[in-house]
Amino acid sequence: MKLRYTADINSYKRMTNAELKEAFVVDDLFTPGETVLTYTDVDRAIVGSIVPQQKPLELPQSKELGSDYFCERREIGVINIGGDGVIEVDGERFAMTYKDSLYIARESRDIQFTSNDPKQPAQYYLVSYPAHRTTKTTHVSKPNAKHIELGSAVESNERTINQSIRPGIVDSCQLVMGFTELEEGSVWNTKPPHTHRRRSEIYMYFEYNDDNRVFHFMGEPSETRSLVLAAGTAVISPAWSIHSGAGTSNYTFIWAMGGENQTFDDMDHIPISEIS
């Protein structure tokens, strides 16, 4: 497991583009045949990917967790952005098609990730936070998520928010997770930008080609910085930072939050006129 130490609210202002990327961006995801995990000091979150091919892959025990197995004191949210596959949790099998979500509860011990077709492998994206209680592992297909339509074509931010791991659908401890799909012709997400000092958030951008990029904006409203991200890249957002983006085409991003509460609307909006 790799370790990621982020910059604080003052030092990021003096960092180069390369230093900002090293502090906040996770760009080694979705390696075929491998489990890739990064542990960040922001709320002790773990972000990673699992791309099984011929053989099943598992979550390794790691000294960074100080536990006997990965989920001994953790919960995990998983969303599949590749081919069909199966996740087996303590003997129970969950079929995972494109954009299906799986919440894996604390104390789940034996977890295996497989692909139905090694030539078109599943690409499991995961985010994990510490969990204080044991709940129930729950599968959520895309149709069973809560869908919220927002924005407009006029403002270039017509989008659908798909909330798959959230209260009322999944009984999680602190993890809230889902994905936002932008319509063709729309490029702005999270408009207006906001912070939520009671929670951290991790974005992972995908569904755009190699010729396009997303410009992710971070930092305090009065001191924003931009990170230029290729598809399949995650970015860590501390509680003090805004998180917003504009792409050179439409795209989709997975968001995951952990912190003091699970109230999706608990955010402090920043008027565009105050961004600099």
pLDDT of residue 262: 65
Helix (H, G, I), strand (E, B) or coil at 20: helix
CB atoms near residue 249 (< 10 Å) = 16
94, 88 contact by CB (below 8 A): yes
pLDDT of residue 74: 97
pLDDT of residue 115: 98
88, 108 contact by CB (below 8 A): no
Gap between the Cα atoms of 19 and 39, Å rounded: 18
Q: What is the pLDDT of residues 236-251, one digit of tens each?
A: 999 899 999 999 999 9
Gap between the Cα atoms of 123 and 32, Å rounded: 9
Q: What is the pLDDT of residues 96-138, one digit of tens each?
A: 999 999 999 999 999 999 999 999 999 999 999 999 999 999 9
Q: Taking the model in full, what pTM does it have?
A: 0.95
Binding site as annotated, residues for Zn(2+): 194, 196, 201, 243
Measured torsion, CA atoms of residues 130, 87, 263, 74, in degrees rounded to the nearest 10 = -10
pLDDT of residue 264: 64
Report the Cα 138 to chain-centroid distance in Å: 18
4, 19 contact by CB (below 8 A): no
- Which residues of the chain register pLDDT less than 50? none
Q: E strands of 105-174, at which residues?
A: 111-115, 124-130, 138-140, 146-150, 159-165
Q: At 275, list the tokens.
A: 């961004």
pLDDT of residue 231: 98
The domain spans of the chain are 2-274
Top CATH class of 2-274 equals mainly beta
Gap between the Cα atoms of 245 and 228, Å rounded: 10
Gap between the Cα atoms of 14 and 10, Å rounded: 8
Q: What is the pLDDT of residues 205-222, one digit of tens each?
A: 999 999 999 999 999 999
Question: ω into residue 271 within 30 of 0, thus cis?
Answer: no
Return the bridge partners of 243, or none: 218
Binding site as annotated, residues: 194, 196, 201, 243
Size (the chain), residues = 276
CA proximity to 175, closest of 113, 133, 122: 133
Report the Cα 88 to chain-centroid distance in Å: 21
224, 185 contact by CB (below 8 A): no
pLDDT of residue 269: 74
CB atoms near residue 83 (< 10 Å) = 18
